[in-house]
Amino acid sequence: MSLFAGTKPNPLNGTVHIPMQMALETARQGLLAIGTPNVDRLALMVVLLTGHEGQDDHPWAGVRTDEEHYSASLLKVAAMYAAFDLRSSADELIAPTGLTAWPAIEAELTAAFDPEIDARTPALISDPGLSPRLRPQDRDRKPDYSAVLKPGTGPVFVVDFTPGQLSAFQDMIVGQHNPGATTTIHGLGYPYLNGKLADDGFFDSSNNKGVWLAGDFTNEADWPSARIDSENDELVAQATTVEHFARMLTLLFDDRLIGPTSNNEMRDLMRRAGKWFHHTGLIPGPVIWPRDGRFIATASKVGLGPLKSGKQTFSEGLVVHDTSRGLDFVVVWQNVHDTLGPGQVPFRRTFEPVARLIEATISAFTPI
């Protein structure tokens, strides 16, 4: 059983969907013509799920799809995925052995997985010249197996998550808070976390583009970070392109990322999380997408974090259901900048243009 199984399928191998792309560009040009903020810098990808399950030709459209942007809390999804994959790999390794006592299980995990992690640690983590902030122990960390995993007690997993790790998932995905992400990242370590993302094909070390998470959401108060260059905020520790992130989410909601049980548990966490376009009680004014409207965000992880310019950057990875046609789409958007209002509350204006572009792109889908 290998912890690193190689590149995942690319569900976006098909060419761009022309009607969707034309509608996106037309709507974008219309908003640019009236001076709508953020439209010129927005990175966006819209991917059809329905009818293409299990395939690598999901229709899509997008703008600035290959630009690497600092995207803040959106990257917590990557930590969730890496943790779930560690559990799955550990379970596959231990199940045939018949081991049930934790010390023996942990010893088996350490013996099998630690050498693999050493071999797959990206140079951006292991090389002091490329990661000058990191300490020697950060470059050589292995998962804290006892913090993340324990012997399973249910019918599915021989090795399962600890109560502390389950609580961390709730905090960082459903609650949208940082402490749970810190706990998860500390349990995994940068070498495994980023080695896994690269081995899966979600990060390309040849150009430093893709899903990158080498900061622990403590602003370096606890662990230092390893940073890569971004389009919107210079050197950063949490970044992605919308294409790489959309590939990950498409595989997740296509039930192809890990196994059915793990996929469903991750999807459930995102379904219970808040969504920018349905936000009530915080953003002033009516919600952008009413729950009984045509467009419903059924799952999400939002991002919000400070830029070095002093503004905030907003992002989101979500699944949108078009109720008029019964179609589901993965949507990833990022690099929307704005200030926060009184009480550090976002403005509705921040999200309105993004919603209009998503609506136009989804509405234009027709089978080719």
Extents of the domains making up the chain: 18-72+243-363, 75-241
At residue 282, does pLDDT exceed 80? no
Q: Is the Cβ–Cβ distance between 273 and 300 less than 8 Å? A: yes
pLDDT above 70 coverage of the chain, percent:
99
pLDDT above 90 coverage of the chain, percent:
93
85-128 per-position pLDDT tens digit: 999 999 999 999 999 999 999 999 999 999 999 999 999 999 99
194-229 per-position pLDDT tens digit: 999 999 999 999 999 999 999 999 999 999 999 999
Confidence grade of residue 14 (pLDDT, cut at 50, 70, 90) = confident
Average pLDDT, the chain: 96
Strand, coil or helix: 229: strand
At residue 1, does pLDDT exceed 80? no
First to last CA, the chain: 41
**What's the average model confidence in pLDDT over 12-35?**
96
Cα–Cα dist 184/85, whole Å: 13
**What's the average model confidence in pLDDT over 7-19?**
94
pTM, rounded to two decimals: 0.97
At residue 13, does pLDDT exceed 90? no
Confidence grade of residue 281 (pLDDT, cut at 50, 70, 90) = low
At residue 368, does pLDDT exceed 80? no
At residue 360, does pLDDT exceed 70? yes
222-255 per-position pLDDT tens digit: 999 999 999 999 999 999 999 999 999 999 999 9
At residue 268, does pLDDT exceed 90? yes
Cα–Cα dist 321/359, whole Å: 11
Give whole-number Cα distances, 62 to 155, 300, 362, in Å: 42, 19, 11
